[in-house]
Amino acid sequence: MRTSSNPALNRSPAFSGRAGHQTIDPLEVAYLGPSATSLDTGRMTVEDVINKTGLLLIVAFLSAAVTWTLGLGGLAFPAALVGLGLGLFISFKQVTRPGVIVAYAAVEGVFLGGISQFFNAAYPGIVVQAVVGTSAVAAVMLGLYRSGRIKVTPQFTKMVVGATLGFLVLMIVNLVAGFVTPGGLGLRQGPFGIVVGLFAIGLASLNLVLDFDLVERSARQGVPARFSWFAAFGILVTLVWLYIEILRLLSILRGDD
């Protein structure tokens, strides 16, 4: 048997015996070889989720750019309804099919492009500020989570989930009230709107921490690789929510100038 062309293997105990009669230790070769990927193990990895989240963000950005460039802001409301329905379907069914989730990202892009165009027309430059703010908040929350300064415990999860559900109900009530009274309950206007906006941004940020924790726990538990699509979907949903809340808060602050 010829010796390996890899010097590291030739010097390794994996190759033993007399010249011409060398044997190979499979465990040693596996150790010296490249790390296994999700394709090799069939299990989700953190890298999988990062890559798929990046892909979904690119799809959403391109869709938003086309909507903005072509002046299709009128599609924002229909896209919001379609996105809501599709998002609920993916969430409750825990859909992991790439086509469905990529389609959701494209629809969300239409919504984001339309709503961003509307806000930017009223407050020039506000979209850039919101994008920078969203990126900064996401980076800070990731840093706090990775450093261990924010620990996800069962109590923490219950608190965030409970507050999120309560906030969602309150926003629905405010929306319904808006059909009767202009401005609804006044939760998105003036000084009170600033307080609600800051609370919503904080809540979205904490949900982002839950997303990070879900990814790490799922990877440790060895869930199937296809689950990475669902995890990436969750991060996209939270980032969109965070962006919209920052956009709203900036509009209130600039409207008071």
Model pTM score? 0.83
CA distance 14 to 28: 6
**240 class by beta-carbon count within 10 Å (0-12 exposed, 13-18 middle, 19+ buried):** buried
Mean pLDDT (the chain, rounded) = 87
Predicted confidence (pLDDT) at residue 25 exceeds the cutoff of 80: no
Strand pairing class (23-24; 15-16): antiparallel
> Do residues 214 and 234 make contact, with C-beta atoms less than 8 angstroms apart?
yes
Per-residue pLDDT tens over the stretch 98-137: 999 999 999 999 999 999 999 999 999 999 999 999 999 9
Q: Report whether pLDDT(12) > 80.
A: no
Q: How far apart are CA 67 and CA 48, in angstroms?
A: 29
- C-alpha dist (Å) from residue 118 to 11, 54, 128, 191, 198: 66, 26, 13, 22, 22
Determine the Cα–Cα distance for residues 38 and 142; give it in Å rounded to an integer: 23
Q: Is the pLDDT of residue 20 over 80?
A: no
pLDDT tens track for 203-249: 999 999 999 999 999 999 999 999 999 999 999 999 999 999 999 99
User: What is the per-residue pLDDT across 88-98, written as a single tens digit (0 to 9) for each?
Assistant: 999 999 999 99
Q: Rounded to whole angstroms, what are the CA distances from 138 to 42, 214, 223? A: 29, 16, 25
pLDDT in tens, 44-77: 999 999 999 999 999 999 999 999 999 999 999 9
Higher per-residue pLDDT: 28 or 76: 76
